[in-house]
Amino acid sequence: MKKMKRIVSLLLCLAMVLVLFAGCSSEDKDTQKDNDAQQSEEGYPFTLDNYGRQVEITKRPQKVLTLGPNCTELFAALGLSDLVVGRSLVNHSRGPLPEYADAVNAIPVLNHASATREAIISSGADFIYALDWEISEDGCNIEEVEQYGMTVYVDAATTVEELYQEILDIGRIFGIEDRAEAYVADQKARIAAVQEKIKDKEPLNVLIYDSGNDGVFTCSGINFESLIVSMAGGKNIFDDIDSKQWVTVTYEEALAREPDIILIHDYDSPGVDEKIAEIKSNPTLSKLDCVKNERFATITLESVLPGDRLAYAVETLAAAFYPDLFE
């Protein structure tokens, strides 16, 4: 009988220990959750300057729209694609880089072309990262979407420093500063490696050819692409134009400036082969030595927009401009 009582007492003690342990474990988990929640909100609110507009960030955004393929891929590159609930301008893309394909393709397409006002407002997003010409007075403007509780950060970089600052700002907004800083450092190192290789080369005169109808639709000297071309060892032959980012010049103007190579944008339609055929059949452009010698380079349009592909674009263009250095 005494033995039985002893066993029962031991079992009761064991049960009490297990209950206490379970309680402590539950409290530890609750404490960890509280700590995580507190940590995720640390540093908020704060205000950022976004090209002269003050953007207040009150908490970490949870539902994001990326309006532009470059904006979308940057979020994938920074490991933030799970937060993106919609993307646009798919027609300006030849697809994401292979390392980001799964992440980008898993994001719902808000609109194949430019995002519509209705799609933006009904998206349920609380944050928008958009190319400056994707959210403007012509469609759904910043003031309007802010009335629906959406914070807007605009991608409008025209210098490398501005682009790097955008990436660092995104890092701060989403609490991944270390990741953003490491990404910027990697971009700088890759670009420096390219420029070391081409440092003894004379810049090539480059005609940037987006399309041609009544003339050549090209980019000016204040377009971000002009900067990328110069970093890759080229010189935009229309870099003296600074009235607006995209301009149409006459075929005769392009001929007079004697480009060494023609850089063709690859996106949507018409394709690159069709554009080359247009150039070759054009009575003016066909007189160019670079056309006679078939000195063409291609780049996807999203690669020359300010975003995650700065180093990639510099590497790609430098290899096209100076193939002997990158064999």
Q: Which residue has the tokens 């033995």?
A: 3
Average pLDDT over residues 244-252: 95
Q: Which backbone phi and psi does 313 adopt, to 5 degrees? A: -65, -45
Report the amino acid identity of residue 169. D
DSSP type of residue 238: T
Position 213 scores a pLDDT of: 83
Average pLDDT over residues 31-59: 76
Q: Which of 112-121, 193-202, 227-236, 304-313 has the lowest mean pLDDT?
A: 112-121
Average pLDDT over residues 204-209: 98
Using pLDDT thresholds of 50, 70 and 90, give the confidence band for residue 269. Answer: confident
Position 8 scores a pLDDT of: 42
Tokens of 83: 């937060």
Which CATH number does the domain 46-156 belong to among 3.20.20.70, 3.40.50.1980, 3.30.930.10, 3.30.70.1450? 3.40.50.1980
Cα distances from 151 to residues 13, 14, 124, in angstroms, run 57, 55, 12
Tokens of 288: 């160019």
What is the distance between the alpha carbons of residues 245 and 225, in angstroms, rounded to a whole number? 9
Residues 6+ apart with CB under 8 A from 312: 97, 303
Q: Which backbone phi and psi does 178 adopt, to 5 degrees? A: -60, -40
The rounded Cα 195 to chain-centroid distance in angstroms is: 22
Using pLDDT thresholds of 50, 70 and 90, give the confidence band for residue 139. Answer: low
Using pLDDT thresholds of 50, 70 and 90, give the confidence band for residue 232. Answer: very high
The rounded Cα 222 to chain-centroid distance in angstroms is: 19
Q: Which of 8-17, 53-62, 104-113, 187-196 has the lowest mean pLDDT?
A: 8-17
Q: Is the confidence at residue 287, as pLDDT, over 60?
A: yes
Position 6 scores a pLDDT of: 52
Domain ranges of the chain: 46-156, 191-325
Q: Which of 154, 108, 152 is nearest to 131 (CA)?
A: 154
Q: Coil, strand, or helix at residue 217?
A: strand
Q: Work out the mean pLDDT of the chain and round it to a whole number.
A: 89
The CATH topology of domain 191-325 is: Rossmann fold (3.40.50)
* DSSP bridge pairs for 155: 131
Q: Is the confidence at residue 227, as pLDDT, over 60?
A: yes
Position 91 scores a pLDDT of: 87
DSSP characters over 151-209? EEEEE---SHHHHHHHHHHHHHHTT-HHHHHHHHHHHHHHHHHHHHHHTTSPPEEEEEE
Q: What is the pTM of this model?
A: 0.84
With beta carbons less than 8 A apart as the criterion, state whether 67 and 91 touch: no
What is the distance between the alpha carbons of residues 154 and 65, in angstroms, rounded to a whole number? 12
Q: Give buried/exposed letters for 102-139 (b at 16+ CB in 10 A, else e).
A: ebbeebeebbeebbeeebbeebebbbbbbbbbbbeeee
DSSP characters over 96-152? --GGGHHHHHTSPBS-SSSPPHHHHHTT--SEEEEETTTSSTTSS-HHHHHTTT-EE
Q: Is the confidence at residue 95, as pLDDT, over 80?
A: yes
Average pLDDT over residues 181-196: 98
Q: Coil, strand, or helix at residue 29?
A: helix
Position 138 scores a pLDDT of: 64
Q: Which of 15-24, 192-201, 257-266 has the lowest mean pLDDT?
A: 15-24
Average pLDDT over residues 26-42: 48
Position 137 scores a pLDDT of: 65
One fold for both 46-156 and 191-325? Answer: yes
Q: Which backbone phi and psi does 309 adopt, to 5 degrees? A: -100, 20
